[in-house]
Structure 1
């Protein structure tokens, strides 16, 4: 269940007003290409390679955050139940904010780090851009990412927290690759999906509320254990 929530949070983080509408600009910045005739003009091979480096960049930051959150949680292992309740409550608040049920202005604060766009584009500048993106995330990503970090902090081991953020990065990175490829054919796909972004944000908010409620009540681990009994790999 934790992995499901982590992947879903990453997926919905991508389809947020903070990221998705900017995909053509991201692609152009990564590759040094131009937007002409309703599509991004770029070598698709170059695009895929540099997009992978970009994804590796923000994944490295997120995984480091996950390991740190999990390590911090281990220091307070004796208070795991209390931490789970606090984390669950905060995740519920984040979900309500994302679903539009709350409007807490301090949750919309952001910090951005800029990468020099005048430098010659290569794979490592794409990696650096990914690091900057992962370090200075935007408000929409911050709510979902913070929820997964709270979940990582309440995990049993450091590796669990690391793996949770790996799955989150996968949920964020896979659609980035797919949409980046599609915008080299037409930007129409971006315009069509833009119409669904407000609804997707609400869905994401309610998913976070559900995750927070399960964590707060201690049902998340019980539900995961129950679902595990249906897998063919459990003996």
Structure 2
């Protein structure tokens, strides 16, 4: 499951960033984070402040995600005797989350939204880390679906280290576009408006990918494909 799981974790983080719950709010997040302001269709902020605060923010949400990955892996190790049952439940839930993400299901419980609210703006890199942690814990539903799927994969991992690594890759998938887009909006908000038009399509694509992954996990084909890929890699070497 290693190669496919890691690839899914990265694209899960990437598409989570571009979810309709998070991406449109990016200017507000970055403004709150840096203490800058929107003027002349761009974010007015010191570049060094932007880089440092963004780094702190990324460290903050990564800490929470990695901790969740470690917890899920540890729980999976405790329930090792029920591995097949856990795999089947995980596959079913991932399919359910994928249907919800793609808009093919409308389960009210999964549509409940939580966001962090704080009146105090970030003053230094430490407070940026705290804001990142708050951002990760006060998560919105469409990102939570992808994150939950990654955690379900982590719960099936053979080692605690792999679960941590899986969520580190997920965090990286969110961190890269966060840095790039944060820099872009300091020059112009036009790119943001253009990307906004395609958010619903990205959510649908993410949902379909999750459904396919869920069927692979549910049927037990995930392990077979990963084993084949590993054998092929060794053969190539």
Normalised-by-shorter TM-score class: over 0.9
Deviation, 1:120, is 5.8
SS at match of 1:229: helix
One of 70, 95, 99 as aligned partner of 1:96: 99
String of CA shifts for 1:7-48, please: whole Å, max 9, x gaps.
011000000111111111111111100100000011112111
1:130, 1:32 → 2: CA distance? 15
2:137, 2:73 → 1: CA distance? 18
Equivalent residue for 1:180?
Answer: 182
Equivalent residue for 1:64?
Answer: 67
Equivalent residue for 2:27?
Answer: 24
Q: Does 1:113 align with 2:116?
A: yes
What does 1:65-214 correspond to in 2, within 5 Å? 65-117=68-120, 119=121, 121-214=123-216
Residue range with higher mean Cα deviation, 155-164 or 84-93: 155-164
Identify unmatched segments of 5+ residues in structure 2: none
SS at match of 1:63: helix
What does 1:211-222 correspond to in 2, within 5 Å? 211-222=213-224
Identify unmatched segments of 5+ residues in structure 1: none
1:112, 1:200 → 2: CA distance? 21
One of 205, 230, 233 as aligned partner of 1:231: 233
SS at match of 2:43: strand
Over aligned residues, Cα RMSD in angstroms?
1.4
Please say if residues 87 and 212 of structure 1, whose CA atoms lie closer than 8 Å, have aligned partners that are also in contact: yes
The size of the alignment, in residue pairs, is: 234
Q: TM-score scaled to structure 2, two decimals?
A: 0.95
Deviation, 1:116, is 3.6
1:17, 1:23 → 2: CA distance? 11
